[in-house]
Amino acid sequence: MAAELSGKVVIVTGGARGLGAATAEAVVAGGGRVLITDVLEKEGADTAASLGDEARFLRHDVTSEADWRAAFDHAVAAFGRVDGLVNNAGVATGELLENESVDHFRQVIEVNLVGVFIGLRTAIPVLRELGGGSIVNISSAAGLTGLPLTAGYGASKWGVRGLTKIGAVELAEAGIRVNSVHPGMTYTPMTAGLGIQPGEGGYPGTPMGRVGVPEEIASAVAFLLSDAAAYMTGAELAVDGGWTAGPTVRALTAR
């Protein structure tokens, strides 16, 4: 069942494919309208076209303040308002801490954390003028625990989690809710190269024994965008098949 988003206008960054595309689809399915932004122009335009008149696409580099201003201006021009923002754009790379270069670490932080910061700062006056709204920041299960091989990525996702808390506290009086979603391993174009497969038994390291699919994460995001989550701000919602809850029974009983 789609979350009720009738009349709401949402900007979804990194919306060309994977989780972002599924989130854009969930917004439209709930009766809302969506501006999809991404640096992947063809994929983004195709995704928007597949959703019909309720969707638009704009090329958008989340590290650029000018691009962020253009995104909000474009959404207002196309749909008349902005009610929500999903900070989904990011890069997923893995490296041991001792092997991570300073330049690469900075690049990951720039996209995954500074991009979210600029998005928040750009959204605040727009949502404040409207009387409130909802911002959902996509962190990761790697932002809830220490995950090896994620020096830059994990640090950025912990940063997104913290920035979410700060935004929630500072903006509550303005009626702006800020929450984070923490996906576990999810089958997307970004993770397909890791060799994971969807379906039961495909990921035995997590209690549910499988990876997630984008639609499952998108449903949680859509809920947080909706008025059904009106009393939720500063929350961190793990959608990870139980991975951050603890070790699996299979692991504990293995002989």
Instruction: Give how far the C-alpha of residue 59 lies from the chain's centroid of Cα atoms, to the nearest Å.
Output: 17
Q: Which residue has the tokens 């900070």?
A: 87
Residue with tokens 């009106």: 230
For the purposes of burial, counting CB atoms within 10 Å of the CB of 94, is it exposed (0-12), middle (13-18) or buried (19 or more)? middle
Are the CB atoms for 47 and 69 separated by under 8 Å?
Answer: no
Q: Which helix (H) or strand (E) holds 55?
A: strand 55-59
Given a contact cutoff of 8 angstroms between Cβ atoms, the answer to whether 60 and 39 are in contact is yes
The C-alpha atoms of residue 187 and residue 210 are separated, in whole angstroms, by 10
Judge whether 76 and 122 are in contact, CB under 8 Å.
no
d(CA 44, CA 242): 31
Helices (H) and strands (E) counted in the chain, each on its own, are 8, 7
The number of beta carbons lying within 10 Å of the beta carbon of residue 146 is 8
Phi, psi of 98 (to 5 degrees): -70, -15
* Active-site amino acid positions: 153
